[in-house]
Each structure stands twice: as C-alpha cells, then as structure tokens.
Amino acid sequence: MVIHNKTQTLEYNKDKGTINLCTYSDDGFLESELDITDKVTTLVLDKLYDDYNLDDGDELLITKASNKKKKSKITL
C-alpha cells in the first residue's frame, strides 16, 4: 500500500497580482496550480460589505498610514 502525501499551499504572486492554490507531490514537485484570485477577491469584498454594513454603490477607502512611530512605555 502506497500513501501519497500531497501538500496544498496558497501562494501570492506579487508581480502578477494573483493568488493560486498549488498542490505539490510528496517529493516536492508542483502538480497543479489553480488561480483563485477572483474567488478570494469576492470573499474579501463580501466580508468588508458585511462588516461595514455597506450597500451596492457605497465606497470604502482603505489607506495605509505612512508615519507610524513606535512608542515605548517605560515604567519606573
């Protein structure tokens, strides 16, 4: 009896902007690669719409803070 251990990973390709579900054989070779970018994007948008109670046509602006200062708390 031969048991095959396959590994599945979610991989983000920053250059292409894609999210792939990859399946590797037990010896580490890539067997399949499935682009799931559209499905993941839909799930994320659905979650945002639900969490922020948005309706179709509403806009949500997401920004990244550029000046994060690390604060240290010192207790004497």
User: How much is the pLDDT for 15?
Assistant: 96
Is pTM, for the whole model, over 0.85?
no
Q: In angstroms, rounded to a whole number, what is the distance separating the alpha carbons of residues 23 and 3?
A: 16
Contact 6, 13 (CB under 8 A): no
For residue 70, how many C-alpha atoms fall within 13 Å in the half-sphere facing its CB? Answer: 2
- The closest alpha carbon to 22, from 31, 3, 43, 4, belongs to 31
The pLDDT value recorded for residue 9 is 95
Name residues of the chain where pLDDT drops below 70. 1-3, 67-76
**Can you give the pLDDT at residue 69?**
65
Task: Specify the pLDDT at position 61.
Answer: 81
Beta pairing partners, 12: 19
Positions of E strands within the chain: 7-13, 18-24, 30-35
